[in-house]
């Protein structure tokens, strides 16, 4: 038992009737780090977060937050954590400021403390102008920010973010990522659930992959990428006649065992695992005088990760779950 672990869960089990949401999940998060819990819809991510944040009691297993048991010492746990769910949990009839002051009062920060903290957070989240408007007039992104601000009122040591960027457009998503990063520099420990490998890769120090209520992998983002075969480089040469030439260059930078270059609708793709692959490709293409209309590097999708780990895709998985529930 290392005291360095701020979140520790062992053998969490939770059933809802016939649905086995969790079937023995272990989680461990070190102080000041971000754990990404990755999995498709229905994998059990939200159930795990709800148990760790004292909203649900596990059927079996136990968990501690900063040394406090989530079942036996739930009040202490609640003083330590901040929770942001998939759905904005603020009162829409109250203004942004009234919401934050209310939560401050409920956290015993006192009248002056609650007001000061509300002002601080509104400023930080760029909501000062909208502070005195009812939350129902906020845009989706603003509401999400207010929700995150609400979970930070008590300056929690541990923060749970349940799919914080689901439904946000890419620009807003990156904003949210910046916020998460600054939380960690402030000394908080973060557990974040997501359906996007890209998000886990951008934010997490370690990633736990959950499927069917079980942990199927736990690794660093690099380790996980290595496991599933790194990234994919895609190139679309502007001159179709130079397809062959481009393919040869790509084969040279490819580190994949299956180094083969595939052709589909004028796009060449190749697996790469080296960070220099993109720059190497660019300089070689430039040297050969080959122009491109498209050049991109991307991570394997959650589907690909799942396929590698389980031999089936995440979306297949969803249908299996539905069938099980229906049966």
Partner 1 sequence: MSTATLTPTPRTSTVPRAAEVSRKPLPLLRHSLALAKRSLIKTWRTPEALIDVTLQPAIFLVIFVYIFGGAVAGSTASYLQFLLPGILAQTIATGAIAIGVNLNTDLEKGIFDRFRSLPVPRSAPLVGAVLGDVVRYVIVTVVTLLIGSLMGFRLEGSVLAAVAACLLAIVFALSLSWVSVFVGMKARTSGAVQGIMFLLIMPLSFASTTFVPGGTLPGWMQGFVKVNPLTHLVDSMRALFMGQPVGMHVWWTLAWCVGLVAVFMPLAMRAYRKKV
Residues in contact with partner 1 by the rule CB under 8 A: 53-55, 75-76, 78-83, 85, 87-94, 98, 102-110, 113, 116-117, 120, 124-127, 134, 139, 141-142, 145, 150-151, 153-157, 171, 175, 178-179, 182-183, 185-186
Q: How far is the CB of 85 from partner 1 (least distance, A)?
A: 6
Give the list of residues 6+ apart from residue 75 with CB closer than 8 angstroms, or none.
none
For residue 109, what are the CA distances in angstroms to 10, 42, 116? Answer: 33, 37, 10
Q: What is the DSSP letter of 136?
A: G
Euclidean distance between CA atoms 167 and 146, whole angstroms: 15
Say how far apart CA 59 and CA 271 lie, in whole Å: 43
Place of tokens 């491109």: 292
Q: CB of residue 98 vs partner 1: minimum separation in angstroms?
A: 6
- Of 41 and 79, the one with the shorter C-beta distance to partner 1 is 79
What tokens does 73 get?
A: 């010492």
Q: Are 102 and 94 a contacting pair, CB within 8 Å?
A: yes
Smallest separation (angstroms) from partner 1 to the CB of 151: 8
Q: Nearer to partner 1 by C-beta: 73 or 232?
A: 73
- The nearest distance, CB 225 to partner 1, in angstroms, is 28
d(CA 207, CA 201): 8
- In the bound state with partner 1, the residue whose beta carbon lies nearer, of 125 and 306, is 125
Quote the least distance from Cβ 183 to partner 1, whole Å. 7
Output 139 or 320, the one with its CB closest to partner 1: 139
User: ∠27-30-33 over CA atoms, to 5°?
Assistant: 105
Nearer residue to partner 1 within complex by CB, 42 or 104: 104
Smallest separation, CB 173 to partner 1 (Å):
12
Of 47 and 151, which CB lies nearer to partner 1 in the complex structure? 151
Closer to partner 1 by CB, 160 or 306: give it: 160
Q: How far is the CB of 152 from partner 1 (least distance, A)?
A: 8
Q: Got the DSSP string for 205-252? A: SEEEEEETTEEEEEE-HHHHHHHHT-EEEEEEESSGGGHHHHHHHHHH
């Amino acid at each position: 038992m290392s005291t360095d672990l701020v979140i520790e869960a062992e053998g969490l089990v939770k059933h809802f009737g016939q649905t086995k949401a969790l079937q023995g999940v272990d989680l461990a998060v070190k102080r000041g780090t971000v754990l990404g819990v990755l999995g498709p819809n229905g994998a059990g991510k939200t159930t795990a977060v709800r148990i760790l944040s004292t909203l649900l009691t596990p059927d079996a297993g136990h968990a501690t937050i900063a040394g406090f048991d989530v079942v036996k010492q739930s009040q202490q746990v609640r003083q330590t954590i901040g929770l942001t769910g998939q759905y904005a949990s603020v009162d829409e009839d109250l203004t942004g400021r009234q919401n934050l002051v209310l939560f401050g009062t409920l956290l015993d920060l006192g009248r002056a403390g609650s007001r000061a903290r509300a002002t601080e957070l509104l400023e930080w989240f760029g909501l000062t102008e909208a502070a005195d408007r009812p939350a129902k007039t906020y845009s989706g992104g603003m509401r999400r920010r207010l929700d995150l601000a609400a979970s930070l009122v008590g300056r929690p040591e541990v923060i749970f973010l349940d799919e914080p960027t689901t439904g946000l457009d890419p620009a807003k998503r990156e904003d949210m990522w910046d916020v998460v990063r600054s939380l960690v520099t402030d000394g908080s420990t973060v557990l974040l659930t997501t359906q996007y490998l890209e998000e886990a890769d951008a934010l997490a120090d370690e990633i736990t992959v959950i499927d069917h209520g079980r942990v199927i992998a736990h690794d660093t983002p690099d380790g996980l990428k290595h496991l599933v075969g790194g990234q994919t480089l895609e190139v679309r040469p502007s001159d179709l006649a130079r397809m062959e030439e481009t393919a040869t260059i790509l084969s040279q930078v490819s580190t994949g065992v299956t180094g083969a270059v595939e052709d589909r609708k004028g796009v060449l793709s190749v697996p790469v695992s080296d960070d220099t692959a993109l720059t190497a490709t660019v300089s070689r293409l430039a040297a050969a005088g080959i122009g491109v209309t498209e050049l991109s590097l991307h991570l394997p999708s959650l589907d690909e990760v799942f396929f590698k780990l389980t031999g089936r895709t995440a979306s297949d998985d969803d249908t299996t779950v539905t069938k099980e529930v229906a049966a």
